[in-house]
Amino acid sequence: MDEGDCRLIEVLGVKIVDWEKKALLVYSWLQGIREIPVVKEIAPPKEKMVATLRFIRQSALKASNPTVPSS
């Protein structure tokens, strides 16, 4: 929970989102989407998706921290 959430709860006295349960809700929602027949048909195999996401992550890390070329 971030500082803004704490202030909102303090002012309103109502907890709108239970952040502890939010992760479970998102996971359940994604699992439900994966069970839709058309999604099953077009989704790539897990291994391919993991490899692609790792590549994207590594590329982003390299782009955000480029090495200084020696001259």
Reading the chain (71 residues) residue by residue, the pLDDT tens digits are: 555 555 556 666 666 666 677 778 888 888 899 899 999 999 899 899 899 999 999 999 888 876 645 44
Position 56 in a domain:
yes
In a domain, 70, yes or no: no
Q: What's the confidence (pLDDT) of residue 23?
A: 79
Task: Give the domain extent around 19.
Answer: 3-64
User: What's the whole-model pTM score?
Assistant: 0.46
Residue 22 belongs to a domain? yes
What pLDDT, on the 0 to 100 scale, is given for residue 71? 47
Answer whether residue 71 is part of any domain: no
In angstroms, the CA 71 to CA 53 distance is 34
Query: 45 in a domain, yes or no?
Result: yes
pLDDT at 22: 79
For residue 33, being part of any structural domain is answered with yes
**C-alpha atoms less than 13 angstroms from C-alpha of 38 in its C-beta half-sphere:** 0
Count of the separate structural domains present in the chain:
1
